[in-house]
Amino acid sequence: MDIGIIGAGITGLTAAYDLTKQGHAVTIYEARPYAGGLAAGFRDPRWEWPLERFYHHWFASDREAVHLIEELGARDRLFFPRPTTSIYHGDHIYPFDSPRRVLQFTPLPLVDRLRVGLVTLYLRLLRNWRPLESVSAAEWTRRAVGERAYRLLWKPMLISKFGEENYQDVNMAWFWARLYKRTPRLGYFVGGFQGFIDLLVERVEAQGGVMRLNTRVRGIHSAEGRLRLRLQGGNAEHERVIATCSPQMMRGLAPDLPPDYAGKLDSLRSMGAVVLVLALRHRLTQEHYWINIPAGEGLPFMGLVEHTNYISPEHYGNDHLVYCGDYLPPDHPYFYYSKEQLLEVYLPGLTRVNPAFHPDWVRASWMFTEAYAQPVPTLNHSRNIPPLKTDIPGLWMANMSQVYPWDRGTNYAVELGRRVARLATS
């Protein structure tokens, strides 16, 4: 078949890899000048390896990603350090990534710590998530761990992730999935995620796939049994089209979608992401890789990720690399800030984390934004997800809103890409 794919993120690239391997003619259209989507990297002249625009890692349980890497013959480039994941509370950072460390979290009374540990264990052993999607994560966790632990841990974390306007609507199946799949060892690729992306692009092209970067698709229309893509400078036609863009973008690209399918797209909510990446001259913290920052702690961001406490700074010219990130509504003012404005907002938070921090520690900085970065899984979300096959013959959609109950991530992007490639040609 002659197949067009909109979007060169991990889902689109994986679909293209499988389809070209089967002998199909595939063209990938990507509006940006690079492939990789949210997992793509950038590079400072001093660095040996690129760094992801948005922080990334794999879990040891991410079988789909690991299997694809093995299939590409690159298993020797995948490695799994065991960094420290922590939580910020009351101007202190507490490691929070093992049962022992949960029991050492002294801001909670011991009885509450034991309760949190037992509830976490129960969720990690639970297999059937379906009943959980009919109750909110806020309601379920409040009942399970008690009011004190809920107010100190889970409520502030839900608000940080989804905002005041969404957190009470998030269902418990999503919360379960985050605990169920996580592992203490976190995977990374030699050369960063960009190294993995480059390998995937190279294999797609070697199998006959065509990459068209800097090519924005402006519309999808039926045309005598085929699908016509309206591009910046002309049109292209294909027998099948797989769109890996956001639901909101899909809505605009395909005006001929029937009301039922279009209505499902309209009902999906999502959060955007804003990230400030800093190259520091000194280490910010001594051991902490990922620091969760609950709402109400007075810091201007919800996540602080010191990448070089996970991957050695020797790959980055001995810079100490720190992400300051937040999930925000797509219309939040930060999306319209300059990097300098965001630095002014975020840097005081680093002094709270480390009083010795001074702005002259910052050698370089970068700002990245993404309007579609985190789906909001509401109650009974499985009923709201549009199918991969749209109601327009030959047109398929595959994006992170459809990996539920799993959270967005490259492992599920790989699984989704393989699934849509299989279904679109069956």
CA–CA dist 360, 85 (Å, integer): 27
pLDDT at position 64 over 90:
yes
Task: For 309-341, write each residue's pLDDT tens digit.
Answer: 999 999 999 999 999 999 999 999 999 999 999
Taking a C-beta distance cutoff of 8 angstroms, is the pair 213, 34 a contact?
yes
Residue percentage of the chain with pLDDT more than 70: 100
- Cβ neighbour number for residue 131 with a 10 Å cutoff: 10
pLDDT at position 306 over 90:
yes
Taking a C-beta distance cutoff of 8 angstroms, is the pair 51, 277 a contact?
yes
Comparing CA positions, the residue from 169, 214, 182 lying closest to residue 62 is: 182
Distances (CA, A) of 149 to 72, 80, 110, 140: 45, 31, 11, 12
The predicted pLDDT at position 104 comes to 95
Structure tokens at 386: 């549009």
Comparing CA positions, the residue from 137, 157, 148 lying closest to residue 111 is: 148
How much is the average pLDDT of 368-385? 95
Comparing CA positions, the residue from 195, 74, 159, 92 lying closest to residue 66 is: 74
Mapping DSSP to helix (H, G, I), strand (E, B) and coil, where does residue 331 land? coil
Structure tokens at 28: 């990938």
Distance of CA 185 to the CA centre of its chain: 18
Place of tokens 């002998």: 23
How much is the average pLDDT of 400-419? 95
What's the pTM?
A: 0.96
CA–CA dist 105, 93 (Å, integer): 10
H helices of 284-409, in order, are: 339-353
Distance of CA 189 to the CA centre of its chain: 17
pLDDT at position 65 over 90:
yes
pLDDT at position 224 over 90:
no
The predicted pLDDT at position 206 comes to 98
Taking a C-beta distance cutoff of 8 angstroms, is the pair 176, 126 a contact?
yes
Positive or negative, the Cα torsion across 232, 238, 242, 248? positive
> Looking at domain 2-50+191-268+384-424, does it have CATH number 3.50.50.60?
yes
Mapping DSSP to helix (H, G, I), strand (E, B) and coil, where does residue 383 land? helix
Structure tokens at 200: 């995937």
Helix (H) or strand (E) holding 95: strand 92-95
Going by the DSSP 8-state scheme, the letter that residue 116 receives in this structure is: H
Taking a C-beta distance cutoff of 8 angstroms, is the pair 83, 290 a contact?
yes
The predicted pLDDT at position 262 comes to 96
pLDDT at position 285 over 90:
yes
The predicted pLDDT at position 348 comes to 97
Mapping DSSP to helix (H, G, I), strand (E, B) and coil, where does residue 368 land? strand
Task: For 404-413, write each residue's pLDDT tens digit.
Answer: 999 889 999 9
pLDDT at position 33 over 90:
yes
CA–CA dist 120, 104 (Å, integer): 15
pLDDT at position 420 over 90:
yes
Beta strands in 232-334 (DSSP E): 234-238, 240-243, 269-280, 288-292, 303-306, 320-328
pLDDT classification of 253: cutoffs 50, 70, 90 = very high
The predicted pLDDT at position 232 comes to 84
How much is the average pLDDT of 59-77? 98
Mapping DSSP to helix (H, G, I), strand (E, B) and coil, where does residue 29 land? strand
CA–CA dist 399, 375 (Å, integer): 10
Distances (CA, A) of 132 to 141, 147, 176, 242, 283: 11, 20, 8, 31, 41
CA–CA dist 145, 271 (Å, integer): 27
How much is the average pLDDT of 385-409? 95
The predicted pLDDT at position 66 comes to 98
Task: For 87-123, write each residue's pLDDT tens digit.
Answer: 999 999 999 999 999 999 999 999 999 999 999 999 9
Q: What is the CATH number of domain 80-189+270-378?
A: 3.90.660.50
H helices of 76-109, in order, are: 99-103
CA–CA dist 330, 166 (Å, integer): 13
Comparing CA positions, the residue from 257, 183, 271 lying closest to residue 220 is: 257
Q: Where are the domains of the chain?
A: 2-50+191-268+384-424, 80-189+270-378
pLDDT at position 181 over 90:
no
How much is the average pLDDT of 216-221? 97
pLDDT classification of 233: cutoffs 50, 70, 90 = confident
Comparing CA positions, the residue from 273, 258, 290, 257 lying closest to residue 161 is: 273
